[in-house]
Structure 1
Amino acid sequence: MPEIFNAQQSDSPDALLRLIADTVPAMLAYFDAATMACRFANARYAEYFGFSQQEIVGKTVREIAGEAVWNEIRSSLPLNNPSVTDSVRYSRQVVRPDHSIQHIETVLRPHSENGVLQGMVALVTDVSHHHQVMQKLQASEERMRRFASVTTEAIAMHRQGLVIDGNTALTQLLGYSLPELLQNPILDYVAPEYQLSALQTMRNEREERHESVLIHKNGQRIPVEVQAKSMPSDEGDFRLVVFRDMTASHLAREHMNFLAQHDLLTQLPNRARLNELMTQAIAQAGQQQSRLSVLSIDLHQFKAINDSLSHQAGDLVLCEIARRLRSSTGKLDLVARVGGDDFVVVLTGSPTLLETEALAARLRAVIEAPCEIEGTQLIVSPSMGIAIYPKDGESPEVLLSNAEAAMHMAKSEGRSMVQFYTPMLEGRATRMLMQEQMLRAAVENGDFELHYQPQTFTANGQLAGFEALVRWRHPHRGLVPPGEFIGFAENRGLIAAVDRWVMRQACIQAKAWQREGLPAVPIAVNLSPQEFRERDVAREVAEVLHETGLEARYLHIELTETTLMQSSGQMPETLKALKALGVGLAIDDFGTGYSSLAYLRRHPIDTLKIDRSFVTDISHNPDARAIVNAIIQMGRSLNLNIVAEGVETAAQLALLRQLGCAMMQGYLVSLPLPAEQARAWMSQHCHLL
């Protein structure tokens, strides 16, 4: 027996060792090899087994631990097996008097002198806390494994850039088996142009969502949304990365972009896309000093087909004409549908006047070839106007305008006529000058009138607001709708004065209705893109609100997608300033332009107004219905209000309700009404409010 356990003097080194033994958090005891009796136990060991330090000395392991424990551990004791010279470690569970489970770990270390076993040291440690931590960690890892196995999102785990695990969705996404992925650099599966940003994300342990591209085993590029998080582990921290396959979303976005830039019926480019393509063609022709020929084509008596047969028959005719035009022109030529029965063909490759005239004759012949529609043979004839770049104009707008002027001249001379643009048609310029003078006089005299079109909730018909629409009191033509003079006013620099008059008058009227006790609802006004480019719109709006006393929340400003995309200059700050005033902001005719989610997120927009062209076709055109549904869902995801424009039938309303569109505007609710009639309309519908 070691002498240290016989020390009696408190100031001896042995007494100091006893003090240390009583201080350590573990339970410590020494047992004699011959008698298996306890020769020493620290306070924690004795107390644990229900003895004092004096009482426990001399008792055997069997007496201290009890019969059940003795039978469990006896084979592990070095005292029973002198051949054991190394320490023995074992763990066991103990049920405490309060019925809780305690986990203890015991280390038995033999003590020998000169090769003769003298005794053993028993070190007992309570490892319950460690066991609980391990159980929680194992449960967490099991939950993670189960989640990873059932989720459809690909999950990869990597440590220092090397893949250490992944779920089934990851192997399906990349086309590799898990063993093929393990211990390989995760950057090997990232498209080269995204590898640097992915490496920076890993090094900086960034956790925000971002887009990337993965490379499938077969070489296919897979667009993904990525989100990663650093995770702790006993084996060292690792990164958990979630990949969400965005292939379907990207395809849908591309499809929406295509639909927004093309005519839904014929799949030809629409007017906006044609302007883009013509701009490119003009730039190339300018560099090469070559010519372009622009043909404006109108079909005679097309309305009669719709009236006598059906709109479906008319649609079939338009599709057939589009196919013939496309098949009769070159691959580099442009063909577009720019209106109901209006097409444009742009000939590239520097055609001569004779070549242009020959092609026009060929196109006239293919258009006039009979169409077999619903068992009826139909023949349509075109009128064509032609403008030449650069002689007749150097911009898409001028060339199209001159080609249309020539087409109208050809149409006035009879069917199947072709007219080249000539200076003789410039009498139109004189008429335009007269119109400008009259419009300037109207601006000075305030010869305008506002009509108000109600906007209602689709669910119950309650009034949601009004849109103010301007009319020009023309001295000879009576009330002229905005579509016939707003563009002209923009071109002549008069739109700012018109917009200010409209905004001020709408605010005055809204405040007057509120004073009468009529429903306080917002009134929306349209502002030209020029306003946002050239003027301090926010300041002018603030002045009008202050002057009229109208609260800002009752004024909504409508702008087009084109205006929204002009994000350079003062546009972003102007929109923020308007939002700070409390004014509502809406995107008008949404779906016809090219705004993306990024632009909608970047600007403080409140409302999207679905363009009437999609609403008109929603009942019978799946593509239009898909676009409307996509806009509604996108608006919901961004917490935006959605208004459908041009609602005219109960069938359209039913579909909009089904798709979850909250508000609508159109003839089904009401025509645009003069102020007094709008007031009467509100009075009659107050019971709905």
Structure 2
Amino acid sequence: MISEKERNVFEGMAIPQILLSYNNGKIKIELVSDSFCNMTEIDRDSIQNNVAELVHPDDLASLSVCFLKFVEEHSNLDVMFRVLDKKRNCYILIHGTGLWQLMEDGTEMILFYFDDTRRIQNSIRHIYSCLKEKDPKAEYNDAVTGLPNLKYMRRFADEKLNSFGACITQQVLIYIGVKSMRSYNDRYGYDKGDALMLLIAKTIKEEFPSSFCGRAVEDHFVIMDEFYGYENVINKINSINQKIKKNAYGITEGIRAGAYVVNPEIKAMNAFDHVRQALKDIGKDMNVICRFYSDERDGELLTERHIIESFEEAMEKKMIRVFYHPIICTKTLKIYAIEALARWIDPLRGMISPGEFIPVLSRYHLLYKLDLYMVEQVCREFEVRKKSGLPLIPVTVNISAQDFDYVDVPEKLRKILEKYGIDSDNIIVEITEQDIAKGTDSFKKQLCSIRENGYRLWIDDFGSGYSSLNVLGQYDIDRIKFDMAFLRHIDDNNGKNRRIMKAIVNMCRELEIHTLAEGVETESQLEFLQEIECELAQGFYFSYPKPIEETKKC
């Protein structure tokens, strides 16, 4: 039993600490010092009643395991974890040490005392800043590894590259990134993180003893060395990675690297751009540890930059055109509808493929602008089709799931159609199966609104690798559009795609969902669709996509 006097003394201590009792497998917080409350900006009642809710969710499981081991083995406890600072609405990292405390009445309790890592880090920064003022070389040295730092490389990088360029052999620039460094610091503490940086620096020098090596931004290193072949570089990077994983404190995910065989005439800034891009291109591929930059990738980056920089002008000057691709009724072979496809005709580069510009616009989250632009061009050309005597059949437009994150799609559609006097039954909305399968609640709500406003809704690319049949039950779907891969591989693997398509067509008929197959290129494929009673077809067998002036009358 803790007396009132003992409580007052403990709670008034200047040391951030918590006293816990442990009886019959149950742990209870008995006392919390004022200093701990002040450090965490959390009141005493919240700590005593809801301590688990204050610990960062990613740290709670590991903290529980460490604490259980501490209790079962009657050992000491040394952990780093994050606690919610309610006042600042953020998490702070604290260092906790636990030990067993023998009380005067003979019972044992757990004493947990803490350090505020922010205060420690600020003190360390202050010490280093003082050292730098006294050491004239410190401004060019990394304080942790002793390697040349980013400031040094910015100052002397071109000079270093020029000196390497004077060598007979080719040179290679390597940019190493440490995987999940933030997680490592959170788990083991910043002192262990610094130790990992030092280990990496030493290991790099072991594998590249004659190279220039520097520490760039935070958890990145730069190497300049003679180039003895791609395999030689990859083997050395693999060796560094294995040694780091073997010798590091705790568990680390190791390193990855981007590399570039240096053109002697290139500037340092461009060379560094190349290796950073090569490292970035690895992405989430767990099977690649080192990737080399290529001139082909340089061309891709130039194309990407042109697309982003020219996109607004391309829309304004109508360089992005609507090409129409007919959709045919398999019974009558008459046009049922036409699909609106975007084609970018650039005055300098010629036709830019949708396979180039659509992924770029998607990465930069600009698809909503393209999709709404296309809807407006389609509506504008309804009048052109009417005056030219072309059939006023429905037009399908492609809408991306991204669009719903940036605009109110139903409202935007309504305003555009109202502007041109077009009825909603003249526009069919196509959403890819990939998008519809992973749509958010907001996406689903807007999609239902589109359907309620009189638009037909089709699922595009059905069966393209993201198939989830339950989407057919979640939404009011008018039609599914089989991905062209079905017909392209119709006879592969003993013709299983034939049986799959027939089964899905029959199932859709039961669900009152219509069907369409794209990618029709031969008469035999059309005959198969007629045989299984797939209602609509689309493909080069009938026609290629064409601009409105080349569209023929039915």
Query: Scaled by the length of structure 1, what TM-score is found?
Result: 0.39
Identify which of structures 1 and 2 has the higher relative contact order when contacts are C-alpha pairs closer than 8 Å and 6+ apart: 2
Query: Scaled by the length of structure 2, what TM-score is found?
Result: 0.48
Higher CA-based Rg: 1
